[in-house]
Amino acid sequence: MSADAKSTVRAIGGRAPDVFRRGNWVSMRHYADDEDIDFAIVGTGAGGGTLACKLAEYGFSVVALDAGPYWRPLEDFASDEQHQEKLYWTDERIVDGDDPIQLGSNNSGKSVGGSTVHFAMVSLRFRPEWFKARSKLGYGADWPLDWREMWRYYAEVEAALQISGPVTYPWGPKRPRYPYRPHDLNAAALVLAQGAEALGIQWTATPLATVSAPRGNSPPCVYRGMCVIGCSTNAKQSVLITWLPRALAAGAEIRDLAMVGRIEHNEAGRVTGVHYHRDGRWRFQRARNVVVAGYAIETPRLLLNSSTDRFPEGLANSSGLVGKNLMVQANQAVWGTMDHEIRGYKGPPSLAITEHWNYADDGKDFFGGYAYMSQGPLPMVWAGTQSTKRGLWGQSLLDEMEKYNHQVGLKIVGECLPQERNRVTLTNERDQYGLPIPRVTYSYCDNDKALIRHSLAFMRRSLEAVGANDIWDETDDTCHLNGTARMGSDPTTSVVNADCRSWDIPNLWICDGSVFPTVGGVNPSLTIQAIACRTADRIKRLAARGEL
Amino acid sequence: MSDRYPGYDVMAKRRSMSWNDQTRAVIDARLAIDPAAHRFFTETEWQTLRALCDRIVPQTIARPHPVPLAAMIDEKARANLSEGYRYAELPPLQQAWRLGLAALDGEAQARHGRRFHALDGLEQDAVLTAVQQGNVRNPTWRELPPKSFFKKRILHDIVSAYYSHPTSWNEIGFGGPTGPRGYVRMSFDRRDPWEASEARPGREAQARRENARVG
């Protein structure tokens, strides 16, 4: 069972766990360490897992390495918040800055499939103008990508995950209807809807990566409400059960419990493979290309830790920007209680959303936007909010917790601006692999604070409009990490180009949320997967032209 | 504390479709924790920790399974189960707890001339409020910022431990484990027959009857 997966390598000897059947296996291609494979991919989350699938399907030889275990959700996942903390990246990290980030749970994952194993499944497209935030909206930086091209890749990912969503989406340019019907709304979502209608703004059922009808080996979602601690029925369309089975079928090898600590390069300045720790020893996988897809902390950490005499500031870092421009998304909330029973623990936690303030620009005293969604925190998270955020303990905590089934909340995913002072660096402390542990420094800027103020005031009005009582603000939560290896069109102001290829080392690629120049006000996973699909197409084309 | 969900016991669902094997194993282990077990903390620290847990989450009503908070914190510290991040100003988990319990005693001594566990409840709460607000007198806190320790260790660890336990779920009417069975009735004021029934004024007896049928 579960204890095994954390300590014992599962994907080995020509087979990998069958994620759809207890105790079962699927066959997996095996590559030797000294075989010069086309791509070694570090990380199997939204970026790396998607790219591994696409590249393998295009005929490249691929080994994808992940530091986390290879779960079979049906047999490994309990319905228990504390136990499922095993899905998080809990290796030590130091946080500082004016607004130190809380890590370890909602913004991390240490599993094959990455944090999509415990993500809230919210699958949103960027507002088109965000890809040209600097020139069209006056803040942040432009992406080297065109929104019309991204629109096609979003459609590809939405089809691959069979997203459940509304027939028509209220904001932005036309998009195809979502493949599966939207989910039923729970009471928490209806509170958002009623509030939005009272305030005269639009809302919709949230496009979610959990199926509303059977699909292959996935049964329809049965509204267990445990999505953010791992789906034990496989209704959730995580990378673990979508892209990775396809990757295996197409001939990719996936190595679990394989922590990459260093990327090697030759005298010509090209990378030659990765040093990784597995089964108690360090090994070296040769590769013609290396893709780093470890997310916004582990990606810069690996690049910085791979420094050599030739690249003393780390790999791909001639711009000096590796590790910089770390962006969180603001995750503030307004909470209240209703006379109605709400029981927000039922169903996916964010069944309704409004992106009004992502698309409306009038009346804002800040750049950027935010979405807000209905909430359904489980008891440990809710008690943590009441105690560590609100400061309650003793009888006052117990009294407040007793209102659990009547509480409602609205929570933002808010755009924070890129700032070079927000960054990932290495410390002198070492982790269990002997690698330097990262320091994550974060401070909001005035624009971020103005956005947060606006959102809290607006959401408060929404809760007031539906008759909620005892309304209070949760002012200091964050989610989703991005940036730290931004893409761009100029090698002096970016780390990779539009193809996620590093400017400095042509066979080193970065494919995850760290390439985001700006974050927008939506959850990033759909965009990360869309970028991975685009990168795979570009690699295929470059290879055909002999330009890899 | 009022009895908002009279007779509701989430454990009545243990054999139902709401629990799978792995969930049963996890919860069984949690219920089997020996409340007196402590392998990490010294006897002195243990006295202080137990007194602290009693103030952060008072468990005054006799229940079949009181939550063994101090033993849970001891195990967390022994296994060094950190959350994956550490505020630059705070020492690592184990060290923070050792320093913190000593500092609580030091603060109690400085204010009342007795160790923390020897104070009465009101005195203990006054000490804790001072720590939460950073108004401390004892020099031990120089090594440990009191406000951060209170929020990130005391509140975080003790409160999470409490709400990981089925006894607390009964109190708040949480449905508990789900899977493979989830929920069907999602809208306002709707309850599936396997959810807790709330004793609103005038329907206490009905709630008790409904809760007896949860399974």
Q: Is B56 left (phi over 0), alpha (psi -120 to 50) or beta?
A: alpha
Q: What secondary structure, in 3-state letters, does A43-82 show?
A: CCCCCHHHHHHHHHHCCCCEEEECCCCCCCHHHHCCCCCC
Round to whole Å and give the CA distance between B121 and B54.
9
Interior angle at CA A196, CA A195 and CA A202, nearest 5: 165
Look up the CATH number of the domain holding residue A193: 3.50.50.60
Of A91, A100, A341, the CB nearest to B84: A91
Report the Cα–Cα distance between both ends of chain A, in Å, rounded.
42
B113: tokens are: 């001339």
Position B1 scores a pLDDT of 47
Q: Contact B190/A81, CB-based, under 8 Å?
A: no
Q: Contact B182/A223, CB-based, under 8 Å?
A: yes
Instruction: Estimate to the nearest angstrom the gap between the alpha carbon of A351 and the chain centroid.
Output: 18
**Total residues found in chain A within this entry:** 548
At residue A268, what is the residue type?
Answer: A
Q: Contact A95/B85, CB-based, under 8 Å?
A: yes
Residue A485's contacts (CB-CB under 8 Å, 6 or more residues apart) are A292, A299, A300, A303, A316, A321, A322, A323, A495, A496, A510, A514, A515
Q: Which of B112, B139, B116 is nearest to B128 (CA)?
A: B116
Q: Is the dihedral of CA A449, A455, A461, A464 positive or negative?
A: negative
Q: What count of other Cβ atoms lies within 10 Å of the Cβ of residue A395?
A: 14
At residue B129, what is the residue type?
Answer: T
**Total residues found in chain B within this entry:** 215
Position A137 scores a pLDDT of 97
A contacts of B198 (beta carbons < 8 Å): 341, 405
Touching check for B94 and chain A: CB below 8 Å?
A: no
Q: What count of other Cβ atoms lies within 10 Å of the Cβ of residue B210?
A: 21
CA distance, residue A83 to nearest chain B CA (Å): 7
> Domain ranges in chain B?
19-172
Q: Contact B57/A397, CB-based, under 8 Å?
A: yes
B contacts of A93 (beta carbons < 8 Å): 84-86
A contacts of B95 (beta carbons < 8 Å): none
Nearest chain A residue to B195 by CA: give it: A343
**Which tens digits make up the pLDDT trace of A75-114?**
999 999 999 999 999 999 999 999 999 998 888 899 999 9
Range of the domain at A395: 2-544
Touching check for B31 and chain A: CB below 8 Å?
A: no
Q: Using 50 as the pLDDT threshold, list the residues of chain A that sit under it.
A: 1-3
At residue A515, what is the residue type?
Answer: V
Of B86, B174, B184, the CB nearest to A95: B86
Position A1 scores a pLDDT of 46
Position B2 scores a pLDDT of 61
B contacts of A342 (beta carbons < 8 Å): 188
Q: Could you tell me if A37 and A287 are in contact, meaning their C-beta atoms sit under 8 angstroms apart?
A: yes
Q: Contact A89/B84, CB-based, under 8 Å?
A: yes
Position B61 scores a pLDDT of 84
B contacts of A104 (beta carbons < 8 Å): 83-85
- CB-based burial, A331-343: b 16+ in 10 Å, e otherwise: bbbbbbbbebbbb
- Walk along chain B (215 residues) and give the pLDDT tens digit of each residue: 468 999 999 999 999 999 999 999 999 999 999 999 999 999 999 999 999 999 999 998 888 899 999 999 999 999 998 888 989 899 999 999 999 999 999 999 999 999 999 999 999 999 999 999 999 999 989 999 999 999 999 999 999 999 999 999 999 999 999 989 999 999 999 999 999 999 999 999 999 999 999 99
Instruction: Estimate to the nearest angstrom the gap between the alpha carbon of B9 and the chain centroid.
Output: 18
Q: Could you tell me if B169 and A378 are in contact, meaning their C-beta atoms sit under 8 angstroms apart?
A: no
What is the complex's ipTM, to 2 decimals?
Answer: 0.97
User: What number of C-beta contacts closer than 8 Å exist between A and B?
Assistant: 202
Of B55, B82, B160, the CB nearest to A384: B160
Position B64 scores a pLDDT of 86
- Rg (C-alpha) for chain A, rounded Å, is 22
Number of domains in chain A: 1
Substitution target in B123, B188, B195 with the highest count of A β-carbons within 10 Å is B188
Q: Which of A183, A243, A123 is nearest to A511 (CA)?
A: A243
B contacts of A184 (beta carbons < 8 Å): 186
CA distance, residue A64 to nearest chain B CA (Å): 24
Nearest chain A residue to B20 by CA: give it: A78
Q: Which of A130, A128, A75 is nearest to A520 (CA)?
A: A130
Q: Contact A393/B26, CB-based, under 8 Å?
A: no
Exposure of A430 by Cβ count < 10 A (0-12 exposed, 13-18 middle, 19+ buried)?
exposed
Q: Could you tell me if A112 and A254 are in contact, meaning their C-beta atoms sit under 8 angstroms apart?
A: yes
Interior angle at CA A539, CA A47 and CA A174, nearest 5: 65
Interior angle at CA A516, CA A512 and CA A522, nearest 5: 95
